[in-house]
Amino acid sequence: MGRTGWLQDNRMRKFSDVFSRYERRELSGMEAAEVLGMSERSFRRYRRRYEAEGAEGLYDRRLGKASVRAVPADELVSMLERYRTEYRGWNVSHFHEEICRKYAFPWSYTWTKLRLQEAGLAPKAPRRGKHRRKRERKPCIGMMLHQDGSRHEWLEGEPALDLIVTMDDATSEIYSAFLVEEEGTASSFRGLKDVFATKGLPQSFYTDRGSHYFHTPEAGGKVDKERLTQVGRALDHLGVEHIPAYSPEARGRSERMFGTLQDRLIKEMAKEGITDIGAANRFIAEDYLPRHNARFAKEAALPESGFVEIADPGLLTETLCIHEVRVVARDNTIRFGKLTWQLPAGPDRPHVACPREGGGQGESEGASLPGRHHRRLPGATPHRRLRC
């Protein structure tokens, strides 16, 4: 017996018991109606049906009849078939949004979810775990940006790639997202430049403790804020506070966002037949991100902006790059890896190499050029810092 049948039988037994007490004059009509949880008028109507037809008169005549508001069977079959053939594995929310956008699907999300669950095509949501208090969002955009990378097989049939995402804490709006072969300093600078050039400088920047973000002397310990990485040096130069996260839960907003992207973006790129990074990044920037932000971005608590406009756009190019220290040799050259760079004479002075007075060797200061090592060449005289 189903739940509906059980409830109906239970209701009939209860009515019979109360009606027998009413006939024995133990209960008035008003008291009987109150016990049954109905109005006195409804009790009189049920009483007349019970006296005329017996227990059969109490059956709900709507049972077994199709609702006048029921979705046509062919619409249900069409929706289930479309999910099986075109959208298998998509979550219900994403699937419902897509068919509403492409096929003008008229039925609700709840109806779609229930029908897919009944057909065994969509799982029911698991029970929620322990209650945790989440960190409140910043009230204004630009007060805090999150940047993180997620390594995953984003392109169907291709090796794993890193998706670098920079988003606002106040609204969860994604300002920049692109795929690279490997996350690192260059990808971080690229994401920062994408945002800083269009939005301005934020007040703070929140990241994990990856080696390209922070130096961490002891594994799992505190970061060394005195020994800056290239990213840390650039943020410090621009006046942006760099905040490290010490647990995955602290980056919960970013982690949940990556869960959404892994569920939706992969399927959409696979459906479009995208298999290379260039096409994927164009699709993300031009097609996916506007729809994603329209769907998931929140309203900031306050309308003001925390972004600071950059007066000199060239500052970003000079700052968001790798700075390395090199020593200028006597012949006005510097070494970078296996390459030797010749420094031309300038209008102010013909030589960059300037030993101290008296022939002694002075302190050397290096050049801001791409490189990895600070190495003094044999025979080179220490010289002043050269910024290139």
Predicted confidence (pLDDT) per residue in 293-325, tens digit? 999 999 999 999 999 988 887 888 889 998 888
Least confident among 257-261, 275-279, 330-334, 360-364: 360-364
192/290 same-domain check: yes
Q: Is residue 179 part of a domain?
A: yes
107/162 same-domain check: no
Alpha carbons 382 and 354: distance in angstroms, whole number: 8
Number of other residues whose CB lies within 10 A of the CB of residue 319: 19
Confidence class of residue 143 from pLDDT cuts 50, 70 and 90? very high
98/50 same-domain check: no
Per residue in 191-215, pLDDT (tens digit) is 999 999 999 999 999 999 999 999 9
Query: At residue 264, what are phi and psi to the nearest 5 degrees?
Result: -100, -50
Contact (CB, 8 A) for 143 and 170? yes
pLDDT at residue number 62: 63
95/234 same-domain check: no
Alpha carbons 310 and 325: distance in angstroms, whole number: 27
Q: Is residue 188 part of a domain?
A: yes
157/264 same-domain check: yes
Confidence class of residue 238 from pLDDT cuts 50, 70 and 90? very high
Mean of the pLDDT values across residues 286-291?
Answer: 96
Per residue in 267-285, pLDDT (tens digit) is 999 999 999 999 999 999 9
333/386 same-domain check: yes
85/180 same-domain check: no
Q: Is residue 357 part of a domain?
A: yes
277/169 same-domain check: yes
Alpha carbons 242 and 230: distance in angstroms, whole number: 12
Q: Is residue 67 part of a domain?
A: no
Mean pLDDT score across all residues of the chain: 83
pLDDT at residue number 35: 82
Last residue of a domain, one of 296, 312, 336: 296
45/15 same-domain check: yes
84/19 same-domain check: no
Confidence class of residue 246 from pLDDT cuts 50, 70 and 90? confident
Q: Is residue 65 part of a domain?
A: no
- Domain coverage including residue 37: 3-58
Q: Who contacts 379 (Cβ-Cβ below 8 Å, separation ≥6)?
A: 329, 330
Contact (CB, 8 A) for 352 and 383? yes
Mean of the pLDDT values across residues 49-77?
Answer: 74
Contact (CB, 8 A) for 42 and 33? yes
Top pLDDT among 288 and 37 is at 288
Q: Who contacts 219 (Cβ-Cβ below 8 Å, separation ≥6)?
A: none
Mean of the pLDDT values across residues 149-163?
Answer: 94
Per residue in 217-232, pLDDT (tens digit) is 888 789 998 999 999 9
CATH number, domain of 290, equals: 3.30.420.10
Contact (CB, 8 A) for 25 and 76? no
Q: Is residue 271 part of a domain?
A: yes
Q: Who contacts 203 (Cβ-Cβ below 8 Å, separation ≥6)?
A: 142, 143, 144, 240, 241, 306, 308
Residue 54 has pLDDT above 60, yes or no: yes
| pTM for the whole structure | 0.66
Top pLDDT among 36 and 173 is at 173
Query: At residue 40, what are phi and psi to the nearest 5 degrees?
Result: -65, -35
Q: Is residue 151 part of a domain?
A: yes
Three-state SS letters, the chain: CCHHHHHHHHHHHHHHHHHHHHHCCCCCHHHHHHHHCCCHHHHHHHHHHHHHHHHHHHCCCCCCCCCCCCCCHHHHHHHHHHHHHHCCCCCHHHHHHHHHHHHCCCCCHHHHHHHHHHCCCCCCCCCCCCCCCCCCCCCCECCCEEEEEEEECCCCCCCCEEEEEEEECCCCCEEEEEEECCCCHHHHHHHHHHHHHHHCECCEEEECCCCCCCECCCCCCCCECCCCCHHHHHHHHHCCEEEECCCCHHHHHHHHHHHHHHHHHHHHHHHCCCCCHHHHHHHHHHHHHHHHHHHHCCCCCCCCECCECCCCCHHHHHHCCCCCCCCCCCCCEEEECCEEEECCCCCCCCCCCCCCHHHCCCCCCCECCCCCCCCCCCCCCCCCCECC
Alpha carbons 380 and 6: distance in angstroms, whole number: 95
Per residue in 72-109, pLDDT (tens digit) is 888 889 999 999 999 988 999 999 999 999 988 988 99
pLDDT at residue number 174: 96
Mean of the pLDDT values across residues 327-353?
Answer: 81
- How many folded domains does the chain comprise? 4
Q: Is residue 287 part of a domain?
A: yes
166/291 same-domain check: yes
336/276 same-domain check: no
